[in-house]
Amino acid sequence: MVVEHRLSATLPNGRPYVNDYCFVYEVRDGKVRAIREYMDTRGGWAQVFGEGEPVQLIEWR
Using one digit for the tens of pLDDT, what is the confidence trace for 9-59?
Answer: 999 988 899 999 999 999 999 999 999 999 998 899 889 888 777 667 778
- Which residue, among 35, 33, 43, 4, has the nearest Cα to 21 in the 3D structure? 4
Q: What is the pLDDT at residue 49?
A: 87
What pLDDT is recorded for position 21?
96
**Is the separation of the CB atoms in 41 and 57 below 8 Å?**
no
Between 5 and 55, where is the model more confident?
5
- Check if the beta carbon of residue 32 is closer than 8 Å to that of residue 48: no
